[in-house]
Structure 1
Amino acid sequence: MRSFASLLLSAAFAASAVLANPIRARSPYSVKETHFAPREWKKLDRADGESVIQLQIGLKQGNFDELERHLYEVSDPSHARYGKHLTAEEVNDCVKPKEETTNQVLEWLRENGVEPAGTTSAQDWIIVHLPIKDVERLLDTEYHNYRHDDGHMVARTTHWSLPRHLHRHIDTIQPTNSFFRAAAQKADWVVTDEAEEPASYQTPSDPAVAKVCNVTSVTPECFATLYKTKGYKAKGGPKSSVGFTNYLGEIPIRPDTKLFLQKYRPEAVSSAYSFKQYSIDGGPVQDGPLTYNQSTVEGISNEANLDVQAISGISWPIKITSYSTGGSPPFIPDLSTPTNTNEPYLAWVNWLLEQKSFPKVISTSYGEPEQSIPPSYAKRVCAQFAQVGVRGTSLLFSSGDRGVGGTGKCFSNDGKNTFKFLGDFPVSCPYVTGVGATMNFEPEESAYRAARNVSGVFRDLYSSGSGFSDYFPRPKYQNKVVPAYVKSLKGQYDGLYNKAGRGYPDISAQGLYFAYFWNGTEGVISGTSASTPLTSGIIALVNDALIAKGKPALGFLNPWIYSKGYKGFTDITKGFAYGCTADNKGFPVQEGWDPVTGFGTPIFPELVKLAGGHHH
């Protein structure tokens, strides 16, 4: 190992001849990863070599297997360590790269005149800021501009290389070949009189439900009645907490939330102004109403408003935290500012892991086709989520709104355009809890609304997201239920999905026609981006009951749900996942677990009892 002084000297020397060709390397370069651009992205001209990007280098973690073992032990109710979550320091000890890894990667960067701009406290990610032309030389690749069908532009490549001796030390480097679009999982906001009663709707026979539940505008009082949180008085102590994430420039609007709570949960009005907002990587925050430009030109904050209103409507007085992560177009870079790379989950989760503490439940209503992200990157982001779970926080992600893949979208990006169902990420990560959507009340069934034209506006098909991961194998906790479901299909859809993959969602809740306010006006909105914050609020109440008894919060939910918690959910047995082709019904909803509604919808008092919080 060379001395530190000689390293500094070589860094100074290399910096003066920044990336003089050819790169001196201890071993020849070879391709580390190839990943095609999905069909929605069109390749254009070469990217501007002067434009500076923030490069995130994911070093191989020292002992992830050990971290995963801890995660499953502290999350398994039958294990002696159940609930004994790890501290930030203990987590960092597990994932910190081996010294050889760190040294070799730093040596390679320094030989090429590159100085790290920062690193995570576990030192498992190194951040560097470089002009694209230097990144091209460092990774032996070429960046092009790609345009998404929606007009969004990114600079990307389809493959990148490393010196051979570094392949085992570096898991991933981004932005290179990932085609994130991080869409909010929402069908669309409509004014209330456009909401149509589903054809399958039956009036509830339970008079309490019938009295407060209107299928074309579902309110907090309906949710509280349906899922039996009504009458529970949350203690809302300092440890009771729930958070939600915002991306793509979305901002929760306080005056709208105030109008919503005034109408539906008057005692909770103060929470419209008391929730905390954090800005990460320049994410926007504001306290006032939407501006004219935000409401008419950009049309933002339907999603963020839905999140904060769904959570505060059910979980008051539990304290709420909002995270806004930058990475939203339009972004006008200058040479000194790294271009927004729009890879929001990693920026968010790495920021979160640096904090001493964070909410016990965090809701995320965003996702995209798994295949738009290279496997190496998806796996590393998922591994970061495991670090959050082992520290005692439940991460809930929406399962998507396109059923098994969306109309006309079901093609692989393997260069062959094979017809197949498309899984979604991050919900496909085995360390998070996926939430699907239901509609109607007695019985609830999986959420679905056919594509249609409403007063000249085309409304896309909406169907609760459903499926199996192509990247993540089926986790142990699913071994009892998923093979049984696959077997029941008797070979239907063979070849269109990965039978051995992680199935999702795990659970579900209402997700059609939520009443909410936007830009001073009431309307309704649908999506698994509604069911996810609603469920997060209910899990926060379960935690509240546990914390009041001096018990730890639930943390990573899935091992508990699959072993005993499932008894606290109403099994949904009606419906299908749709998508792919117009008449194509995808996976059917069935008794027990299914990949459309998971184990079903929450029964709050039962969940509290099963978790050991004794609901009175």
Structure 2
Amino acid sequence: MRFFASSLLSAALAAQASLATPLRSRSPYSVKETHIPPHGWEKLNRAAGDRYIQLEIALKQSNFAELERHLYEVSDPEHERYGQHLSADEVNELVKPTKKTSDLVHEWLYENGIEDLHYSAAKDWITIHVPVELAERLLDTEYHNYKHVDGNKVVARTTSWSLPRHLHNHIDAIQPTTSFFRAAANEETYFNAPAEVPESYKKPTDDVIARVCNVTSVTPECFANLYHTKGYKAKAGDKNTVGFNNFLGEVPIRPDAELFLKKYRPEAVESAKSFKAFSINGGPVQDGPLTANQSAEGTSKEANLDVQAIAGISWPVPIVSFSTAGEPPFNPDISTPDNSNEPYLVWVNWLLSQKKIPQVISTSYSDSEQTVPRSYADRVCKQFAQVGARGTTLFFSSGDRGVGGTDKCFSNDGKNSTRFLPGFPPTCPYVTAVGATMNFEPEESAYRAARTVNGTFRDLYASGAGFSNYFERPQWQKKVVDKYVKDLDGAYDGLYGKDGRAYPDLAGQGLYFAYFWNGTEGTISGTSASTPLVAGIFSLVNDALISQGKKPLGWLNPWLYSKGYKGLTDITKGFSYGCNVEGFPVTKGWDPVTGFGTPDFPKLVKLAGAKI
């Protein structure tokens, strides 16, 4: 889509081209944002000026407060509008920029010779592709190449950028500028280590659970019995769908899904071939087995886990796979700062451009909140709010490094102070964050101590937990979270944001999932496992609602904190670990490790207002 200038502006552009100099801005430039690189990033040489970079420009939304009001009303089970979700057009109308904002931003871009503009559905984001040297002039900044000590990825970034003063109130964010997302290695999006019986494991006294649940290889049969979905027959057909996201070049491998379902859900095997797969921004899709290169690189372990975890619990609910190109961040080598943005924004803006979207979507990726500039995190979070207003539940994994991993808990305050490291997007209040549990009777928070594996030190695995440093505590969780913080009695004061949005909200099994990869069965762990499992269970809750003429749950959190928590089994054992401390304790009631606990399907259906 292209914005066409008036004849007067066209004439100005022609004059500009002849002079080869940009028109003078309306007002002097001043700094819009500064963001210190997080611990571990090394500044290298200047970025090559002739290389292209993709900039995403966030225009100020006209009436997000009104969108948020609608979101709360349609998501509050006590409100008369509960379940009356908005259409795509209604959402777009509420957040589209004002004419003044749009005109001023377009004028600025045209003055700098930029005409090829691409838009989000609500025209609240503009995407441009420009040489680095033009981006530097546009933002009055300098891009340098940066490399993280733990990898070989190199990105073009700056620590500060500016705008003409008259645009400061019309542009919320521009990226990539000051963002330092990391392209996680496969081992960092899930926990992949040989299965062993946890020291705390006790054989279940329930005969059925003891028979069908193997703690070193947990299967769909175990989940169905543990969370009481066994025997439920989905009835809503294609009126109800569940989706999942693939990033970092991941793509679900259908032949592996077929092997998994043949063994564990033979009645569902056809879904391995029939689930819909969408490519976004050139993201990969494929129908055949792994290639030799994919096998050598360990590609698609995450994607296979996601589709198999969902299909194993939610069949026959139709599944949708989204594969989005781009890595947070992406750069092929030190001399080539061509850049695809972190993929959450690309994906969510594509999603919002669709008229029909799944009622539940699972995402098993996150990064440290401090790698994301606050302005950018806020705007991406608002895009998630728009999805929620349309009636979709967004589940995000809480992470696998407890409160921040081992020997990595440094803030980017310029002093490298020790701090717990919350994750984004799970800190966004408009998503539902999922932690991980292990064992069966009782379940406890997932944990495996750090150790050396095959001569290589591997970080600990602990269910992600924490409090946002960016987002304030929402009203719907204040009561339970304020009580938890008070009961800590000062423990870890100064290491976390005591007034921030706390997460996760609930949890599910996340240790040693049975799955197939490259034709072979193995096990894999993480909140990357618990998140699609929980998403699959809630897709069955929606199935019960929709098949009985009711609306899907949509944005889950107000319902979850007001009444839905009664349909979860409280977890009372464990700690969050990380940052070389024991971390937050799991307690009775809500805690920032397992949330309110794990699903009890029949109770959730009843609380949602449906019958089984």
TM range (shorter): over 0.9
Determine whether 1:7 maps to 2:4: no
| Identity percentage of aligned residues | 68
Matches within 5 A, 1:135-150: 135-148=135-148, 149-150=150-151
Separation in 1, partners of 2:543, 2:51: 48
Separation in 1, partners of 2:337, 2:317: 37
Corresponding residue for residue 153 of structure 1: 154
Corresponding residue for residue 377 of structure 1: 376
Matches within 5 A, 1:1-40: 4-17=6-19, 20=21, 24-40=24-40
Q: Describe the SS at the equivalent of 2:238.
A: coil
Amino acid at match of 2:168: H
Corresponding residue for residue 215 of structure 2: 215
Corresponding residue for residue 350 of structure 2: 351
Indicate how the Cα distance of structure 1 residues 127 and 562 shifts in structure 2: closer, same or farther if over 3 A, else same: same
Corresponding residue for residue 406 of structure 2: 407
Contact 2:144 2:156 in 1 (8 A): yes
Post-superposition offset of 1:115: 1.1
Q: Describe the SS at the equivalent of 2:287.
A: coil
Contact 2:228 2:602 in 1 (8 A): yes
Contact 1:182 1:366 in 2 (8 A): no
Amino acid at match of 2:130: L
Matches within 5 A, 1:362-511: 362-511=361-510
Indicate how the Cα distance of structure 1 residues 52 and 141 shifts in structure 2: closer, same or farther if over 3 A, else same: same
Separation in 2, partners of 1:513, 1:457: 20
Post-superposition offset of 1:330: 7.2
Q: TM-score normalized by structure 1?
A: 0.96
Amino acid at match of 1:5: S
Separation in 1, partners of 2:352, 2:16: 33
Amino acid at match of 2:417: T
Unpaired segments of 5 or more residues in structure 2?
A: none
1:588 is aligned, of 577, 580, 585, to: 585
Matches within 5 A, 1:33-72: 33-72=33-72
Corresponding residue for residue 179 of structure 1: 180
Q: Describe the SS at the equivalent of 1:429.
A: coil
Q: Describe the SS at the equivalent of 2:338.
A: coil
Contact 2:183 2:330 in 1 (8 A): no
Aligned alpha-carbon RMSD (Å): 1.8
Separation in 2, partners of 1:506, 1:482: 11
Amino acid at match of 1:608: V
Matches within 5 A, 1:249-288: 249-288=249-288
Post-superposition offset of 1:343: 1.1
Separation in 2, partners of 1:180, 1:487: 33
Separation in 2, partners of 1:17, 1:245: 47
Q: Deviations over 1:467-512 (max 9, x none)?
A: 0000000011111111000000001101111111000000000000
1:597 is aligned, of 587, 594, 599, to: 594
Contact 1:307 1:530 in 2 (8 A): yes
Matches within 5 A, 1:303-322: 303-322=302-321
Q: Deviations over 1:134-173 (max 9, x none)?
A: 0000100000011122111111101100001100000000
Q: Describe the SS at the equivalent of 1:417.
A: coil
Amino acid at match of 1:9: A
Corresponding residue for residue 513 of structure 2: 514
Q: How many residues align?
A: 605
Separation in 1, partners of 2:475, 2:547: 31
Post-superposition offset of 1:16: 4.5
Unpaired segments of 5 or more residues in structure 1?
A: none
Contact 2:153 2:331 in 1 (8 A): no
Corresponding residue for residue 126 of structure 2: 126
Corresponding residue for residue 83 of structure 2: 83
Post-superposition offset of 1:239: 1.2
Post-superposition offset of 1:182: 5.2
Contact 2:330 2:339 in 1 (8 A): no
Contact 1:189 1:523 in 2 (8 A): no
Indicate how the Cα distance of structure 1 residues 113 and 79 shifts in structure 2: closer, same or farther if over 3 A, else same: same
Q: Deviations over 1:543-584 (max 9, x none)?
A: 000000000110000000000000000000000000111xx1
Q: Describe the SS at the equivalent of 1:503.
A: strand
Amino acid at match of 1:445: E
Corresponding residue for residue 610 of structure 1: 607
| Most deviating of 417-426 and 234-243 | 234-243
Q: Describe the SS at the equivalent of 1:37.
A: coil
Contact 1:577 1:587 in 2 (8 A): yes
Contact 1:236 1:319 in 2 (8 A): no
Post-superposition offset of 1:187: 3.6
